């Protein structure tokens, strides 16, 4: 097989590395693996490509220094391990890249940092400025403060969203799994998929038992989902083993190449669709569903028939049709306790009765993403 042109022509690349590839099984940093990964990125960088690294491993790195026998299950201990481990992890990257005269910068994110307009702009601006300054950004979920409500779910998903945020031309997912197989590699008849061009190529996949690392949280399911997110936004994806990092970045035929299936959309809306957890639901009448989905209009109080959940203004909520199916997600402009008294009324009527502050949308179209077409 030849060199992959989609890979070699990329001028901006996001690389994600899993916990098991940068830490030791018992916990703690694996300096050798980090040095090899850094060398692969520096090789591609020397060819004129900007690189962003999304690195798991903060919690796993903190296990051994805290004297823990295994990855903690409770949130507080996970946060404590991440607090200790993140500093050690970034120190290892600083040392590995620094030996070649390259600086790194640490970016820690929660989903809340990028679905809210002001936070999103700050994250985007910081990443772009670091690249302009010749710094390699190293991104991780902020496990020291993250809660279940603010969690991305896994760093594969985070990497796909970061790739869109920085307008990358390529996403490379590196782990202890060397490719996508039709079934677990040790199963008779399993075969490697060299390329995936769409959902039809995934129809026969059985991912049960593949790629679940002992110190990580990801697996093959999360990698396929990350590939779906990135490729649907026009970004090709390579899934390969960490040991094949240099070959994967050079465009060699290792791992699995996922071809783009869609086009770029507004980055913040991609984050809203894939990185936010809805705090409630708004049930819409048929007219409002049509206005939101087909005409891409803002959601007004007149189209809302019921409110579910306990949320505040600015929180993400799902918009559901009369059958209860989620059709869109958006950032709501009212607290849950305010909305029941506004339902079914026009904004003009509300402004006349309650003041000009109530002449606003429930969800503005700029803060709304369609999840399902009718």
> Where a domain ends, among 246, 270, 294?
270
pLDDT tens across the length of the chain (374 residues): 578 999 999 999 999 999 889 998 877 899 999 999 999 999 999 999 999 999 988 888 998 889 888 888 888 898 898 899 999 999 999 999 999 999 999 999 877 666 666 677 888 899 999 999 999 999 998 866 655 544 455 788 889 989 988 999 999 999 888 999 988 888 888 888 999 998 888 887 876 544 444 444 447 888 998 999 899 889 999 999 999 999 999 999 999 999 998 877 766 777 788 777 789 999 999 999 999 998 889 999 999 999 999 999 988 999 999 999 999 999 999 999 999 988 888 888 887 878 787 778 999 998 898 885 53
Q: Are residues 266 and 361 in the same domain?
A: no
Q: Are residues 215 and 85 in the same domain?
A: yes
Q: Are residues 129 and 212 in the same domain?
A: yes
- How many other C-beta atoms are found inside a 10 Å radius of the C-beta of residue 360? 15
For the question of whether the overall pTM of this predicted structure is more than 0.85, the answer is no
Report the CATH number that the domain containing residue 39 is assigned in CATH.
Answer: 3.40.1160.10
Q: Are residues 259 and 319 in the same domain?
A: no
Q: Are residues 77 and 220 in the same domain?
A: yes
Report the CATH number that the domain containing residue 315 is assigned in CATH.
Answer: 2.30.130.10
Q: Are residues 258 and 292 in the same domain?
A: no
Q: How many domains does the chain have?
A: 2
Q: Are residues 176 and 315 in the same domain?
A: no
Q: Are residues 315 and 256 in the same domain?
A: no
CA-to-CA separations, 255 to 153, 178, 261, 299, in angstroms, rounded: 24, 5, 19, 44
SS3 97: helix
Q: Are residues 285 and 239 in the same domain?
A: no
> Where a domain ends, among 236, 270, 304?
270
> Where a domain ends, among 238, 270, 302?
270
Q: What is the extent of the structural domain holding 333?
A: 278-370
Q: Checking phi first, is residue 171 left (phi over 0); if not, alpha (psi -120 to 50) or beta? A: beta
SS3 370: strand
């Amino acid at each position: 097989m030849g060199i992959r042109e989609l890979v070699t022509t990329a001028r901006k690349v996001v690389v994600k590395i899993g916990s098991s590839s940068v830490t030791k099984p018992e916990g703690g940093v694996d300096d050798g693996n980090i040095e090899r990964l850094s060398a692969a990125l520096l090789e591609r960088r020397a060819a004129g490509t900007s690189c962003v690294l999304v690195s798991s491993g903060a919690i796993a790195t903190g296990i051994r220094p805290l004297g823990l026998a295994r990855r903690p299950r409770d949130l507080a201990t996970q946060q404590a391990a991440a607090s200790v481990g993140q500093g050690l992890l970034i120190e290892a990257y600083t040392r590995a890249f620094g030996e070649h005269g390259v600086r790194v910068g640490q970016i820690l994110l929660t989903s809340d940092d990028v679905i809210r307009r002001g936070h999103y702009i700050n994250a985007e601006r910081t990443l772009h400025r670091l690249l302009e300054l010749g710094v390699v950004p190293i991104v991780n979920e902020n496990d020291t403060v993250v809660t279940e409500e603010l969690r991305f779910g896994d760093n594969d998903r985070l990497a796909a969203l970061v790739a869109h945020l920085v307008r990358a031309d390529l996403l490379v997912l590196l782990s202890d799994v060397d490719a996508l197989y039709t079934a677990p590699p040790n199963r008779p008849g399993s075969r490697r998929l060299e390329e995936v061009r769409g959902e039809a190529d995934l129809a026969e996949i059985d991912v049960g038992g593949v790629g679940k690392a002992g110190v990580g949280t990801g697996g093959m399911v999360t990698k396929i989902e990350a590939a779906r997110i990135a490729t649907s936004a026009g970004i090709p994806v390579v899934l390969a083993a960490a040991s094949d990092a240099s070959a994967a970045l050079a465009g060699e035929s290792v791992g699995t190449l996922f071809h783009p299936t869609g086009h770029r959309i507004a980055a913040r809306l991609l984050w809203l669709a894939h990185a936010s957890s809805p705090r409630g639901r708004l049930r819409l009448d048929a007219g409002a569903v049509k206005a939101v989905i087909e005409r891409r209009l803002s959601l007004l109080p007149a189209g809302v028939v019921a409110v579910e959940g306990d949320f505040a203004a600015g929180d993400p909520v799902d918009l559901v049709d009369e059958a209860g199916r989620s059709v869109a997600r958006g950032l709501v402009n009212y607290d849950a306790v305010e909305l029941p008294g506004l339902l079914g009324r026009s904004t003009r009527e509300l402004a006349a009765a309650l003041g000009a502050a109530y002449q606003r949308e429930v969800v503005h179209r700029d803060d709304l993403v369609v999840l399902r077409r009718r």
